Amino acid sequence: MTFDKANAALDSVYSAETPEALAKAYAEWAATYDSETASLGYLLPFLITAWVARHVPAGEGPLLDAGCGTGLSGPSLKALGYGDIAGLDLSDDMLKIAGSRQANGKPAYSELKKAMLGDPLPWPDDHFRAFFSTGVFTIGHAPAEGLHELVRITKSGGHAIFTVRDQVFESGGFQAVFDQLRQARRWRPVEESPWFRCYAIGDPDALVKTFVFEVM
């Protein structure tokens, strides 16, 4: 039953045609999001910590969890030695759950802000040591153009670490945005994973790729 509910919820967020509809879909899903995505074997919020740890030394920050949802990544990164983690999401309901996350008796996130990727973000230039994002550049979600703002708020020498769903990589113009940022000398490519499953149990055809860039 949980498996079926998770698939129905995924269909709801993927089919949202406006930011308002997407926010509504996540508001309705927030309370059961963790258990239902777990039933599908959702890997990304935990697996992204491996790429963060590979490229950002423990203790360095601040980090931005861009599209943090219920905050599944924060406690894992705290356990790996990262202390200053901010989060943004478009859903108040998801942010409320992220704000309740604890690590060593303290909040997992140092700050949480409501914002939408693709819009101007509420931080100054060169603010973050790195940003990471999982499951956000996917069907019906954030546009590739949102990467420009994320790069703006990341320090030179910092890192951009994020996943992109296979079904939107070409249709969403991600390669064009990658090339724009490279040609403008705003970042350089560092690492690119093969395509891999984002759900270990359900939806075997749902593939993502992780990209790592160094911001210049």
Q: What is the rounded CA–CA span in Å between residue 186 and residue 188?
A: 7
Query: Is a pLDDT exceeding 50 seen at residue 49?
Result: yes
162: in domain: yes
Domain hosting residue 48, numbered range? 41-215
23: in domain: no
177: in domain: yes
What are 140's two structure tokens?
């019906």
- The whole-number average pLDDT for the span 198-207 is 90
CATH number at residue 189: 3.40.50.150
pLDDT category of residue 37 using cuts at 50, 70 and 90: confident
83: in domain: yes
H or E element at residue 211: strand 207-215
Contacts of residue 56, defined as CB under 8 A and 6 or more positions apart, other chains included, come to: 63, 82, 129, 130, 159
Domains held by the chain: number:
1
- The whole-number average pLDDT for the span 21-41 is 69
90: in domain: yes
pLDDT category of residue 182 using cuts at 50, 70 and 90: very high
Q: Can you give the pTM of this predicted structure? A: 0.87
Query: Is a pLDDT exceeding 80 seen at residue 28?
Result: no
143: in domain: yes
Predicted pLDDT of residue 33:
63
pLDDT category of residue 1 using cuts at 50, 70 and 90: very low
Beta bridge partners of 191: 212
Burial state string for 132-167 with b = 16 or more CB within 10 A and e = fewer than 16: bbbbbbbbbbbbbebbebbbbbbeeebbbbbbbbbe
